[in-house]
A = this chain, B = another copy of it.
Amino acid sequence: MPRRPAPTIRPLAPSAPRRRHDATGGADLSRRLAAVRLGQGASSLHPLTDSAANAALESYDRGVKDAFDRIVPVLKRLSALQHEDDFVARAQALAQAELGFSLPLPILEKAWVSQLDMRSLFAWCVFETYEQTSDGFFRDDPLQGQPGSPAADEFNAFLLSCGFHLLDATPCADGRLAHAIAFALRLPFSSVRRRPHAGALFDVENTVNRWVKTEHRRYREGVPNPAHDDTRYLKVVLYHFSSLDPTHEGCAAHGSDDALAASCGRQRLMEFQQAVENSFCCGASVDLLLLGIDTDTDAIRVHVPGMDGSTRLDHWLDAATVYEATRHLQPEEARRRIAELATAAAASTPDPGMVRLISRLLEHNISQIDYVRQYHHGHYADAGHAERFIGVGIGFKEIHLRNLTYFAYMDTVEEGAPDMDVGVKIFKGLNVSRGLPVPVVVRFDYNGKVPGARERAVRHAQRVQEAIENRYPDLFAQGLLHALLTVRDQERHTPAEAVGSTISLTTAGGH
């Protein structure tokens, strides 16, 4: 397995051309009219909206996606140049200018023999761009949420003051929710334990293990607070639905049935709570919160729980409603009103700390509603799949952008095959149909304090690559599936490290 070179770093140009969002696409007229109504008043933002944050987030999102989306146009131009005499030099100049990195010489130098191996080149560029994105995330903290950042410290203190010592959230693994933590909920990414799963159906046994680790650290180290402090571990499920096309663009794992998505989410939450209560003595328990999100508008739904632990499936507080009810108020007045609405929406008398947290989430989400109105005409143009690569494994702390990545979280392909199959099917439509390969980034995080852990993570990634090749032999044989293997030390704030790939660069000229 040739080791890929350290990536050439080039900051993502904020002046890159803006992607056009065309609201007059293929959908039917009534939906469009609804969207226009939803978009009305987008010029006047909600008093609680943080428009500076919106601008920064939009710039980051656009910069990263543009970097991926520049690849195909550049490769098309290379294709036209490939039989010219000075092809290699011109190709490198073009790549440097447009993509910010050089291309692998072995591939360029072989072009004259037959033709440019466009499949390998495309995968190479996607992987290079992924690595730049990962590097930039850990270097520049574009979301301003890294451990020890002011935003993270402030939110951690706020969370504790609400009575929670850990926030563990499971959104659906759908790429349209990959931005849920950092954008839709506006939470510092380091303040949330994020474990996406298909259908938001998290693994109960694993979550109990994480709960044990959290409580053990409180007992042993008093981190984040001593075990005898009366705070709770909060487990959140975030299911999703589509307001514009509810029967097609909802959660695939639940057949686009949002009532089913919500009830399965609540069921899984209750199973987790019961597992903790049954397995441990001394009043061990956890708190639960069920949220939904509209993937068209990013407006959340909150199923406000009662202090007695009850959560209603048929009753929720919609952030769009909250937005409308408070848009003409002064900020402080709006905040009070949000808390009142949250209290009124509760399944029974709510816990005041829970109301404070939910009010904060709703306030954050108001910014996101305006973000979608400001930059996406009130709803996203890419209602369906438009991911740039598949992420397989455990990790991806640096991925917080909508529709950038199809996630297939798994330890082994044997367990995760159904998720992986869905991802490959999506990319057959997105890429293979255009003759381009499915780009898969394999990732396993490890604890660098544990001897041998990095080597085990590397072997783990290699084993998963082999299992992927075995599962999709035809795609792999045709060069229509490529994988980049990466590992990352989860104990340090460092980028992912590339440790291998399926791209073969065998001549002396390259890497």
Q: Which residues of A pack against B, CB within 8 Å? A: 204-205, 208-209, 212-213, 215-216, 219-221, 227, 270-271, 274-275, 278-282, 284, 411-415, 447, 449-453, 456, 463-464, 467
Kindly state the separation between the CA atoms of A239 and B220 in the bound complex, as whole angstroms. 33
Task: Find chain B residues with CB under 8 A from A205 CB.
Answer: 447, 450, 453, 456
Q: Are A279 and B216 neighbours in the complex by a CB distance under 8 Å?
A: no
Q: Are B415 and A453 neighbours in the complex by a CB distance under 8 Å?
A: no
Task: Find chain B residues with CB under 8 A from A275 CB.
Answer: 447, 449-451, 453
Task: Find chain B residues with CB under 8 A from A274 CB.
Answer: 450-451
Task: Find chain B residues with CB under 8 A from A450 CB.
Answer: 204-205, 208, 271, 274-275, 278-279
Task: Find chain B residues with CB under 8 A from A271 CB.
Answer: 450-452
Q: Are A463 and B282 neighbours in the complex by a CB distance under 8 Å?
A: no
Task: Find chain B residues with CB under 8 A from A220 CB.
Answer: 215, 219, 280-282, 284
Nearest 7 CB-CB pairings of A with B? A278-B449, A219-B219, A275-B450, A271-B451, A412-B414, A216-B216, A414-B414
Task: Find chain B residues with CB under 8 A from A467 CB.
Answer: 414
A424 CB, min distance to chain B CBs, angstroms = 17
Q: Identify which of A209, A212, A219, A450 gathers the most chain B CB atoms within 10 Å of its CB.
A: A450
Kindly state the separation between the CA atoms of A453 and B278 in the bound complex, as whole angstroms. 13
Kindly state the separation between the CA atoms of A220 and B276 in the bound complex, as whole angstroms. 13
Kindly state the separation between the CA atoms of A270 and B452 in the bound complex, as whole angstroms. 11
Q: Are B452 and A204 neighbours in the complex by a CB distance under 8 Å?
A: yes
Kindly state the separation between the CA atoms of A412 and B280 in the bound complex, as whole angstroms. 28
Task: Find chain B residues with CB under 8 A from A282 CB.
Answer: 220-221
A221 CB, min distance to chain B CBs, angstroms = 5
Point out the residue from B213, B216, B415, B463 that lies within 8 Å of A219, measured CB to CB: B216
Task: Find chain B residues with CB under 8 A from A219 CB.
Answer: 215-216, 219-220, 227
27 contacts between A and B (CB under 8 A): A204-B452, A204-B456, A205-B456, A208-B450, A209-B209, A215-B219, A215-B220, A219-B219, A219-B220, A220-B280, A220-B282, A221-B282, A271-B451, A271-B452, A274-B450, A275-B447, A275-B449, A275-B450, A275-B451, A278-B450, A279-B447, A279-B450, A411-B412, A411-B415, A413-B414, A414-B467, A415-B463
Q: Identify which of A205, A271, A411, A463 gathers the most chain B CB atoms within 10 Å of its CB.
A: A205
Point out the residue from B278, B447, B463 that lies within 8 Å of A414, measured CB to CB: B463
Q: Are A221 and B281 neighbours in the complex by a CB distance under 8 Å?
A: yes
Kindly state the separation between the CA atoms of A456 and B202 in the bound complex, as whole angstroms. 13
Nearest B-chain residue to A448, judged by Cβ: B278
Kindly state the separation between the CA atoms of A54 and B501 in the bound complex, as whole angstroms. 57
Nearest B-chain residue to A270, judged by Cβ: B451
Nearest B-chain residue to A212, judged by Cβ: B216
Kindly state the separation between the CA atoms of A132 and B52 in the bound complex, as whole angstroms. 71
